[in-house]
C-alpha cells in the first residue's frame, strides 16, 4: 500500500504490488494508540521477495513454492529465531507507557538519524572519541567509541556499535555479522528499537566467542529516561 486506505484522493493507485511475502514469525508487542495509551498488539514479520515483478495467477503456487524452498535453503534453519524475547513484560503499565513514548520517537527516526542519536547518547553517557562510520560501507559497525572514566575498570576500551532502527526483530545472523566485523580486542554491541530472538541472545553469549552486548528497544528507552536524555524527532527539530 502506498497511501492510507482512508485517503479517497488517491483512488485505485493506492495499491502497489511489492512481491511475494514469506511468513517468518509473529509475536506479541506493545504500542501506543491514538490517545497515547498502551495497547497489546501482535506483530507479523514477512520477508519480501521482489524478483518476480509479474506473477501469472496460473503459476502462483509453483513460483511461490520455488521461492520459499530457495529462501529457506539460503538462510538456513535457526528455529530459536522464531522465539522473541520481550522485556516489556516485566514492566508496570505506567512504566511501559513512558518507555513506548520514547520508543515511538526512536522508531520515527530514519536509520541515519538513529545512528546520530546513538552517537549523541554515548557522548552524553561519558564515552569518548565517538564517531559515526560511513553510512554505506560500515561493515556492520555504525558507531565507534571509547569508554571514559565513568567505566573506569574498562577505561579507553574500543566499543563498536551496530544501530538497528528496526520494527522487526534482530536475529542470530546480525549478531554474528557484527562479531565478524569487530577490530581486535574491541567490544561489540547491537542496539535496536525492536526485540532480539532467543537465537540472537544465545549467539551473543555463546561460550568461546567474543561476547556481544544486546540492547533492545525497551532497555534503550529506559536508558534514555534514566539518563534524562531528550529525544528530538525530525518534526520537532523543524518546529524548534
Domains within the chain, CATH numbers bracketed: 11-77 (no CATH), 93-239 (3.40.1350.10)
Terminal CA-CA length for the chain:
32
147 and 123 Cβ atoms separated by less than 8 Å: no
| Chain segment 66-84, per-residue pLDDT in tens | 777 777 666 555 556 767 7
Q: At CB < 8 A and 24+ separation, what contacts does 150-157 make?
A: 150/125, 150/126, 151/126, 154/187, 156/128, 157/185, 157/186, 157/187
DSSP character string of 79-133 = GGGG-EE-GGGGS-HHHHHHHHHHHHHHHTS-HHHHHHHHHHHHHHTT-EEEEEP
Task: Report the pLDDT value the prediction gives residue 223, as an integer from 0 to 100.
Answer: 96
Q: Are 223 and 117 in contact (CB under 8 A)?
A: no
- Render pLDDT for 167-224 as a digit per residue (tens, 0 to 9): 889 999 999 999 999 999 999 999 999 999 999 999 999 999 999 999 999 999 999 9
170: cell is 534482530
Report the distance separating Cα 40 and Cα 81, nearest Å: 21
pLDDT score for 57: 77
Mean pLDDT to the nearest integer, 1-10: 60
Residue 236: which pLDDT band, with cuts at 50, 70 and 90? low
pTM over 0.85? The answer is: no
- pLDDT per residue over 111-120, tens digit each? 999 999 999 9
Amino acid at each position: 500500500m502506498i497511501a492510507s486506505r482512508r485517503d479517497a484522493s488517491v483512488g485505485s493507485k493506492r495499491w502497489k504490488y511489492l512481491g511475494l511475502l514469506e511468513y517468518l514469525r509473529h509475536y506479541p508487542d506493545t504500542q501506543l494508540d491514538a490517545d497515547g495509551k498502551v495497547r497489546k498488539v501482535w506483530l507479523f514479520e514477512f520477508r519480501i521477495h521482489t524478483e518476480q515483478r509479474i506473477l501469472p495467477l496460473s503459476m502462483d503456487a509453483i513460483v511461490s513454492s520455488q521461492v520459499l524452498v530457495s529462501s529457506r535453503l539460503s538462510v538456513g534453519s535457526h528455529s530459536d529465531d522464531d522465539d522473541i524475547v520481550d522485556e516489556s513484560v516485566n514492566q508496570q503499565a505506567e512504566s511501559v507507557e513512558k518507555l513506548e513514548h520514547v520508543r515511538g520517537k526512536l522508531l520515527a527516526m530514519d536509520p541515519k538519524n538513529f545512528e546520530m542519536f546513538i552517537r549523541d547518547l554515548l557522548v552524553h553517557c561519558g564515552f569518548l572519541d565517538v564517531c559515526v562510520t560511513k553510512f554505506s560501507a560500515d561493515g556492520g559497525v555504525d558507531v565507534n567509541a571509547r569508554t571514559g572514566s565513568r567505566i573506569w575498570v574498562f577505561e579507553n576500551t574500543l566499543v563498536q556499535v551496530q544501530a538497528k532502527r528496526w520494527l522487526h526483530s534482530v536475529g542470530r545472523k546480525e549478531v554474528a555479522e557484527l562479531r565478524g566485523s569487530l577490530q581486535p580486542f574491541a567490544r561489540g554491541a547491537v542496539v535496536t528499537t525492536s526485540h532480539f530472538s532467543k537465537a540472537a541472545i544465545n549467539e551473543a553469549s555463546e561460550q568461546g566467542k567474543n561476547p556481544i552486548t544486546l540492547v533492545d528497544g525497551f532497555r534503550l528507552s529506559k536508558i534514555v529516561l534514566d539518563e534524562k536524555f531528550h529525544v528530538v524527532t525530525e518534526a520537532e527539530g523543524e518546529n524548534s
